[in-house]
Amino acid sequence: MMISIKNIEKHATPFYYYDINLLRRTLETVCKNASRYGYHIHYALKANFDKRILEEIKNFGLGADCVSGGEVRASVEAGFDPKKIVFAGVGKRDDEIIYALEKGIFAFNCESLEELEVINEIAGRMHTHATVALRINPDVDPQTHKNISTGHADSKFGIAYTEIEEAMAKIDALPNISIVGLHFHIGSQILNLDVFKNLCSRVVSIMSWFSEHGIEISYINVGGGLGVDYIAPETNPIPDFDTYFKVFHDNLPLKEGQTLHFELGRSIVCQCGTLISKVLYNKKTASGKNFVLIDASMTELIRPALYDAYHRIENLSNKHGNEVYSIAGGVCESSDIFARDIELPITKRGDYLAIRSAGAYGQAMASNYNLRPLPESVYSDSFIDF
Ligand code: LLP
């Protein structure tokens, strides 16, 4: 439910507003649909690592997918079971590997042959043993924005499928690591489910290489990537997890003892978050374009500037009249524009705007650029008058 103006006025803008009820309904739905097939979900912390959000997600029993020592720490501190934590990332630092080994995480998703050697070496020094999954780059086109595609052959992510044999020979020779499974992740904001069918068929053929070589793979992790409806968040607040999981059920047959894991981020937290901002100024350009300058900027939500991403914008203070506006932030960058030439009700200084579907990669990607403060979080259940 959208926050009321009365409650907005209690907070300094800009801030992130989280609908906890919607988050819980989303978690209920994803858990119900995954458990139908016995699938496991590791929440991708990179989408949103707000403490309260993490607590809600942890309460539903999800595992965690981390890409830095900081995220491993945040998930451990939030109470996620270390045995359900996986650690991916192309550039894991030694101190991060040490920390994850100390915490006894379930697996490192390894992204290069050299990384296997480094983890082996560190585990040996620590007199411990590391379980790894090979992140294999399957060369599948995710059909999404190029900046959020990871699974094509020449991306920096994962181990080339042409190097699988060499990786396995290496693991055999390294005494302090053992392989538990395979990991794949091809991209984010994927709306065409056929892409996941293509992923499944690549996974099936890669897995058959392993069984032909007598190697048992018990853990298969197909990453995240399920997209959300940015155009109509009100109509589609919860992604279609049912159909999504069914694609994997129908196209990725599991053998006895094999488990299928997912690393969902955006689809879990995106729609529960809204960036609330106040209008500062109106101005007109020489050619007659209307600009509305707001107190949020790319430092709170960088997605429009970075990916030309669309976020629905609503005027919460006025519903009357109609005008075409471009909505911009105050940072000294020409790309600091939330939307160009959109229709909104007449929008004046002091009006509150809601920038929707901002729960994923919004607050998590906020920065201090221009020495602007980081945005705060406000939760729907901190108010009683809804
Ligand atoms: N697993 C791995 C290995 C990943 O790299 C990612 C996202 C995920 C899981 C979670 O994917 P999701 O379910 O959220 O699609 N900042 C961009 C998105 C970057 C995604 C990076 N990796 C954006 O704002 O669109």
Is the pLDDT at 193 greater than 70? The verdict is yes
Closest atom of ligand 1 to 150 CA is: 5
Q: Quote the ligand 1 centre to 189 CA distance (angstroms).
A: 8
Ligand 1 pocket mutation, candidates 134, 263, 269, criterion most atoms within 8 A of CB: 263
State residue 208's pLDDT score.
94
Average pLDDT on 10-19 reads 97
Least confident among 66-80, 280-294, 370-384: 370-384
Q: Quote the ligand 1 centre to 349 CA distance (angstroms).
A: 36
Is the pLDDT at 142 greater than 90? The verdict is no
Residues 273-310 have pLDDT tens digits of 999 999 999 999 999 999 999 999 999 999 999 999 99
SS (H, E, C) the chain: CCCCHHHHCCCCCCEEEECHHHHHHHHHHHHHHHHCCCCEEEEEHHHCCCHHHHHHHHHCCCEEEECCHHHHHHHHHCCCCHHHEEECCCCCCHHHHHHHHHHCCCEEEECCHHHHHHHHHHHHHCCCCEEEEEEEECCCCCCCCHHHECCCCCCCCCEEHHHHHHHHHHHHHCCCEEEEEEECCCECCECCCHHHHHHHHHHHHHHHHHHHCCCCCCEEECCCCECCCCCCCCCCCCCCHHHHHHHHHHHCCCCCCCEEEECCCHHHHCCCEEEEEEEEEEEECCCCCEEEEECCCCCCCCHHHHHCCCCCEEECCCCCCCEEEEEECCCCCCCCEEEEEEEECCCCCCCEEEECCCCCCCHHHCCCHHHCCCCEEEEHHHCCCC
Q: Quote the ligand 1 centre to 46 CA distance (angstroms).
A: 7
Mean of per-residue pLDDT scores for the chain: 95
Q: Quote the ligand 1 centre to 187 CA distance (angstroms).
A: 7
State residue 328's pLDDT score.
98
Q: Quote the ligand 1 centre to 317 CA distance (angstroms).
A: 34
Ligand 1 pocket mutation, candidates 40, 46, 244, criterion most atoms within 8 A of CB: 46
